[in-house]
């Protein structure tokens, strides 16, 4: 007997099977995106990419931002007093410099060494920078944001002797870097503000040496000679007077180091860009 009759089921004919397969293929093709839909998707993705590229700053925009920063830097320097101040004016500014330095005693060194949560942290260079920024309106210039090597370069190379130092002058340390420290320009590793005091060698600075300060940060030290080096060795000290800063002069005195700062200072406005330079304001005036 026919197997179809035994099971009670009718097997599909060849025509029926072809019809079913064709219907499935048609349904699958209907579910696939049409050529127009695919083009629309690609167009949308391309438009999004084009918008993202358009939103990125162009080379011209980046250069204009650089120019504006340079203009601002020139403005800060050109506003300095042109010419030396009187001895009384320098003495008054020096006292303010010393008082501002002392006001930061107790400021922690860094979040890594002191823990999170402090409103302000200061290493050796940021202490001096912050004091200069506090007094920028009276000094007549705005100092840049680099480290002790930059501060060193912003003072003339005239050597000073320990007996000639006045409170507020700076002491720099050069050293050979240790195995876990980096080499800085001029091998300068540290800076502190000279105070003199009863010992004639007292300073205020920011250290993290456990041998000389119980808490890492800004402290007063009876002698600059107690500095242990922060992992460096073969130290040598260099004394520098801040008299040029008190006269409103802050210019790079290093012939080899470029600090992305315009050359200039209050006592030498001719070093600033001329009115034809691209690094002056749009009005053609030195800013």
pLDDT > 90? residue 186: no
pLDDT at 108: 97
Domain range annotation of the chain = 14-55, 85-254
For the ranges 9-13, 83-87, 278-282, which has the lowest average pLDDT?
A: 278-282
Average pLDDT in the 256-277 region?
49
pLDDT at 127: 97
Across the chain, mean pLDDT equals 76
**C-alpha dist (Å) from residue 37 to 28, 33, 43, 98, 268:** 16, 6, 10, 73, 68
pLDDT at 230: 61
**205 bridge partner residues:** 219
pLDDT at 134: 97
* Residues written for the chain: 287
Structure tokens belonging to residue 40: 């629309």
For the ranges 3-17, 75-89, 90-104, 245-259, which has the lowest average pLDDT?
A: 3-17
Topology of the domain comprising 85-254: endopeptidase fold (from Nostoc punctiforme) (3.90.1720)
Q: What is the per-residue pLDDT across 221-232, written as a single tens digit (0 to 9) for each? A: 999 999 877 655
Average pLDDT in the 65-90 region?
64
Task: Let me know: does 279 contact 273? Beta carbons within 8 Å.
Answer: yes
Average pLDDT in the 67-78 region?
54
Average pLDDT in the 25-54 region?
61
Higher pLDDT, 241 or 37: 241
Higher pLDDT, 6 or 38: 38
pLDDT > 60? residue 114: yes
């Amino acid at each position: 007997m026919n197997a179809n009759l035994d099971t009670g089921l009718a097997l599909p004919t060849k025509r029926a099977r072809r019809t079913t397969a064709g219907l499935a293929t048609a349904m699958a093709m209907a579910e696939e995106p049409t050529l127009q839909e695919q083009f629309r998707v690609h167009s949308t993705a391309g438009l999004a990419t084009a918008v993202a590229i358009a939103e990125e700053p162009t080379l011209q925009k980046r250069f204009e931002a650089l120019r504006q920063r340079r203009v601002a830097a020139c403005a800060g320097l050109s506003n300095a007093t042109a010419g030396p101040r009187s001895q009384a004016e320098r003495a008054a500014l020096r006292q303010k410099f010393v008082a501002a330095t002392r006001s930061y005693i107790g400021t922690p060194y860094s979040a890594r060494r002191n823990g999170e949560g402090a409103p302000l942290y200061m290493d050796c260079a940021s202490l001096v920078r912050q004091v200069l920024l506090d007094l920028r309106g009276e000094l007549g210039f705005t100092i840049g944001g680099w480290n002790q090597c930059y501060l060193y370069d912003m003072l003339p190379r005239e050597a000073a002797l320990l007996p000639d130092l006045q409170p507020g002058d700076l002491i720099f340390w050069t050293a050979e870097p240790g195995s876990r420290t980096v080499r800085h320009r001029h091998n300068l590793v540290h800076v502190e503000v000279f105070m003199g005091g009863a010992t004639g060698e007292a300073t205020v600075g920011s250290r993290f040496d456990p041998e000389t300060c119980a808490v890492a940060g800004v402290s007063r030290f009876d002698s600059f000679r107690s500095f242990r080096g922060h992992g460096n060795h073969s130290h040598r000290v260099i004394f520098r007077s801040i008299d040029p800063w008190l006269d409103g002069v802050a210019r790079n005195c290093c012939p080899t180091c470029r600090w992305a700062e315009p050359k200039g200072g209050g006592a030498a406005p001719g070093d600033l860009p001329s009115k034809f330079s691209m690094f002056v304001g749009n009005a053609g005036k030195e800013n």
